[in-house]
Amino acid sequence: MPHSSAQQATPARSFSDAEKQALYDIIAARRDVRNEFLPDPIDPDALRRVLEAAHAAPSVGFMQPWNFILIRDEEKRKVICKAFSEANEEAASMFPSERQALYRSLKLEGIAKAPLNIAVTCDRARGGEVILGRTHNKDMDIYSTVCAVQNLWLAARAEGIGVGWVSIFRTGDLRRLLNMPSHVEIVAYLCLGYVSELHSQPELATKGWRSRLDLDSLIMEDAWTGQATVESTE
């Protein structure tokens, strides 16, 4: 006979002020790393802890739709980097002419420099046709996978491992290079490696691409009540 939830429940753990502050410090210290990677290989035990943190992420219907493709091979990463460069040049041309020089000056990936790349995928067939909690929003599996990415990122930061999310790819290129089956989506392509220093603020803010929005302008009560403030990009 199945156990009741009451039989399985344990007292909710309370965390000390120091433990809570450590979590907030890790969140505040997280950065999207591009150029600060060290060549040192990632300790296997640390990598395992980071992947276990990702696997502990919440998922709708407990479907756990993620997989993690570890990419270390230098030749494979060179080909992926070339695919990025081609897409990145296309992306540059999409911005107004007065922004293109700044765009091209930004370092937007660390594919070759980071000792490890990870493609985080979402298996959209996992769990069958009907998934608890996904019956009316088919994208909940994608959202669940993004939660795994966030867990991975924060755990990596706690381990002294930097992470950079590379999103500028033509989807077909990356799918072909990673031999992806049709029912699996690539949600995130991540670069990982130890870092000795990080920007004190998000790099795109320090280089004048965007500034952080004011939190109070983004909070609403009970329903949509107004448009979020868009800051100047000058």
> 178 φ, ψ to 5°?
-100, 5
Higher pLDDT, 2 or 165: 165
Question: What average pLDDT score do residues 140-150 get?
Answer: 97
Angle between helices 44-55 and 140-158 (to 10 degrees): 150
Rounded average pLDDT over 92-112: 86
Does the pLDDT value for residue 228 go beyond 60? no
Largest CA distance in the chain: 68
Between 68-77, 156-165, 220-229, the lowest mean confidence (pLDDT) is in: 220-229
For 159-214, the pLDDT digits (tens) are: 999 999 999 899 999 999 999 999 999 999 999 999 988 888 887 888 888 899 99
The share of the chain scoring above pLDDT 70, in percent, equals: 94
Tell me the pLDDT tens digit for each residue of 40-69.
Answer: 999 999 999 999 999 999 999 999 999 999
Which pLDDT score, from 0 to 100, does residue 5 have? 53
The whole-angstrom separation of Cα 189 and Cα 197 is 22
Residue 14 pLDDT greater than 90, yes or no: yes
Residues of 174-210 as b/e, b for ≥16 C-beta within 10 angstroms?
Answer: bbebbebeeebbbbbbbbbbbbeeebeeebeeeeeee
Domains of the chain by range and CATH? Answer: 32-208 (3.40.109.10)
Decide if 154 contacts 30 (C-beta within 8 A): yes
The pair of three-digit structure tokens given for residue 136, joined into one six-digit string: 């009316």
Written as one string, the DSSP assignment of 125-171 is TTT-S--TT-SS-TTHHHHHHHHHHHHHHHHHHHTTEEEEEE--S-H
CB atoms within 10 A of CB 147: 16
pLDDT at 55: 98
Mean pLDDT estimate for the chain: 91
Which residue has 């979402």 as its token pair?
122
| Per-residue pLDDT band at 38 (split at 50, 70, 90) | very high
How many CA atoms lie within 13 Å of 171's alpha carbon, on the beta-carbon side? 7
Please report which confidence band the pLDDT of residue 233 belongs to, taking 50, 70 and 90 as the band edges.
Answer: very low
- The SS3 of residue 44 is helix
Q: Is 190 helix (H, G, I), strand (E, B) or coil?
A: strand
